[in-house]
Amino acid sequence: MSETKENKWEHWYLKLYRQAAAGRLLGGFVHNINGSLQAFSMQTELLKWMFTKCYPLLDNIQALAGEGPLQEQVLALRKLIDSRSKMMEQVQSEIGICQKNMQHVMFLEHPEMEIGEHTTNLSSVVGDELSFMNADMFFKHKVKKEVRLAGSMPPLQENIIDIHEVVHILLENAVEAMQGSKERQLVIETSLVENTMCFTVQDSGGGIVPEYMERIFEPFFSTKDNHAGLGLYLAKRLVKELGGTITAENLFAGARFSLCLPTRV
C-alpha cells in the first residue's frame, strides 16, 4: 500500500473515530432530553385538562353576564382559551413526534432493548432516512421525490445500524449526483420478492461514466472534490457481510442503485 493511501486511511479513520465519539455523547444527550420531554408532556396534559374545566365555568359566567360589556369580555376570553387550547394540541403533537424520534435513536443504540412497540423493517428504515435528510434544504426543497415503500415487510432483527448506514449512503450519493442537474428527481422504492427484500434509488444526475462503473465501489475512488471515496466502498462491505448485494446501472437520465438483502437479516 502506498504511503499516500496509508495517510488517507489514517485521516479518515481518525475522522470516523471522532464521529463515533460524538455519537456516544449524543446517546447521553438523548437520554437527558427524553427526560425533559416527558416533563413537558405531563405539563401539557395538565394544561389540556385545565382547559376542559374552563368551558363550564365560562358557560356559567356568560349566563350570569347578560347583555353588555361583560358579555363581550367573556366571549373574548372564550376565543383566547380556544386559540390556546388548539395551540396546546399542536404542542402535544410535536412533543409526541420528538419522543418517537428519541425512542428511535435509543432503539438504534440498543436494538436488544424493548422500547415501546418499536418494530423496524426495510421500508421504515428508508422512511426514517428520508425524514432525517429533510434537514438538508437542497434535498427538502429542490429535489422531487417519488416514494413507493412496501407496506408489508419482514422485521429486521439485527444489523439495523448497518442497514441504516447503507441506505443513507445510497440516498446521499443519489442526491449529490444531482447537484448540478436542472432536473432533480428521485424515485425510491422498497419491495419484497419471495425471501429477498430490496431497496432501489434512481436519480436524474446524468448517470455514471461507463469507464468508472467498475471502480465506483473501490476505496478512495471519487469524482467529487473533498470526498473520501469511501461511502460506496463501505456500503458494499457492509452488505456483503449481511449476505446481500448492491448493484449499479445507468437508466434513462441517471443511475439506479439496488440493495437486496435476505429476509433473515
Stretch (H or E) spanning 94: helix 69-109
**Domain limits for position 38:** 3-109
Q: Are residues 162 and 87 in the same domain?
A: no
Contact between 186 and 201 (Cβ < 8 Å):
yes
| 143 and 218 share one domain | yes
**Dihedral over Cα of 156, 161, 164, 166: its sign:** negative
Residue 262 grid coordinates? 435476505
Residue 223 has pLDDT above 60, yes or no: yes
Per-residue confidence (pLDDT) for residue 122, from 0 to 100: 95
Above 80 in pLDDT, residue 102?
no
- Which of 75, 109, 143 corresponds to the end of one domain? 109
For cell 386559540, the residue is 83
Average pLDDT over residues 9-14: 66
Mean pLDDT of 227-247: 90
| pLDDT tier at 88, thresholds 50, 70, 90 | confident
User: How much is the average pLDDT of 177-203?
Assistant: 94
Helix (H, G, I), strand (E, B) or coil at 98: helix
Where among 109, 138, 154 does a domain terminate?
109
- Which helix (H) or strand (E) segment is 169 a member of? helix 160-177
Give the span between the Cα atoms of 151 and 141, in whole angstroms.
Answer: 26
pLDDT tens digits, one per residue of 17-39? 566 666 666 666 676 777 788 88
With beta carbons less than 8 A apart as the criterion, state whether 155 and 122 touch: no
pLDDT in tens, 106-155: 666 555 544 444 568 999 999 989 988 888 899 999 999 999 999 889 99
Q: In CATH, what number is assigned to the domain containing residue 153?
A: 3.30.565.10
| Domain annotation covers residue 114 | no
Asked if residue 60 has pLDDT above 70, the reply is yes
Mean pLDDT of the chain: 84
Domain count along the chain: 2
DSSP state of 230: -
Determine the average pLDDT of the residues in 197-216: 93
Count of all residues that appear for the chain in the document: 265
- pTM comes to 0.68
Question: Is 174 exposed, middle or buried (CB count within 10 Å of its CB: 0-12, 13-18, 19+)?
Answer: buried
Residue 231 has pLDDT above 60, yes or no: yes
Q: Which of 109, 133, 159 delimits the end of a domain?
A: 109
Please report where in the chains the cell 396534559 appears, as a residue.
Answer: 45
Residue at 117 is within a domain: no
User: Quick one: which H or E segment has residue 66?
Assistant: none
